[in-house]
Amino acid sequence: MTTRTFKQFGQGYGATPATITVTLDSVVIFNGDIPTLDQATGQDIGVELYSWAKDLAFQGADTLQITVVDGTLLLSKSVANYFKYINPAEPSGPYASSGPNNFVYFYYYTADGQIIYDPLSNVAIDGVAQTVPVRTTGEYGQWPWYLGPGQTLTANLNVIAGYESTNIYPPVV
């Protein structure tokens, strides 16, 4: 059975490595140091912080919790392999897969006529519900979240089922 890999990108900030603990449905999937930049926080996509695996058929929502022990964390982009691409001109198919080596956004929804690629919903920091500001046209990616020392983010991590196919996207020519 094919296993789907998920990757979390972001960036730590501070003079020493930041330490974070990440749980998914109450199971620790990462506990350790992440690399940091000794500079003011920015909007960088950053580096791969950690990864985890799920069954290809999984879809739905997991409960995500990230606690920053020390340092500052920018949570920027969540991606996965085996994403099902749909041709907008032919929504009933044919479909293509991102395949095992192409990591792309794995969840989307439509808001105000725009497709938004952000898997996090019901985000709270230290128990306080957060609201994503109104997006301007063209802001379609995952909303960045900043966490300081001692802060905890909780959210629903939404996932669309993976798709395995002999049609790999982008097509090899």
Label residue 106 exposed, middle or buried (CB < 10 Å: 0-12, 13-18, 19+): buried
23-32: per-residue pLDDT in tens?
999 999 999 9
Neighbours of 99 (CB within 10 A): 19
The more confident residue out of 139 and 61 is 61
pTM of the model: 0.88
